[in-house]
């Protein structure tokens, strides 16, 4: 009875962290862990690349807006001073 409870609990834990509980050997768990780690590393790499692109685009947009606003206010200032 205790062995069954422990087995079910370990199976639940493996499923909860994303490993398939099909094989109970240490080699299977190790292989699954390496596979999941590679998947997560690839995902994080892609997401960090996307984040960098988004940050660069936002910075460029902010710089362009600042240049436009400064240009508009400097023209308004020149017109006000010259009148």
Q: What's the full length of the chain, in residues? A: 83
Model pTM?
0.44
Q: What is the pLDDT of residues 10-68, one digit of tens each?
A: 777 767 666 665 655 666 667 777 777 788 788 778 888 888 888 889 999 998 888 88
pLDDT of residue 64: 86
Q: Which of 9, 11, 51, 46 is nearest to 28 (CA)?
A: 11
Scanning the structure block, which residue is given the tokens 């009148």? 83
Q: What are phi and psi of 40, to 5 degrees?
A: -65, -40
pLDDT of residue 12: 74
Q: What's the rounded Cα separation, in Å, for the pair 4 and 41?
A: 35
Q: Using 50, 70 and 90 to split pLDDT, how confident is the model at 83?
A: low
Residue 4 pLDDT greater than 70, yes or no: yes
């Amino acid at each position: 009875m205790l062995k069954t409870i422990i087995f079910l609990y370990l199976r639940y834990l493996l499923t909860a962290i994303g490993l398939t509980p099909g094989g109970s050997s240490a080699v299977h768990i190790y292989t699954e862990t390496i596979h999941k780690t590679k998947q997560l590393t690839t995902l994080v790499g892609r997401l960090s690349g996307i984040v960098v692109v988004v940050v660069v685009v936002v910075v460029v947009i902010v710089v362009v807006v600042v240049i436009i606003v400064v240009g508009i206010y400097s023209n308004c200032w020149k017109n006000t001073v010259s009148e």
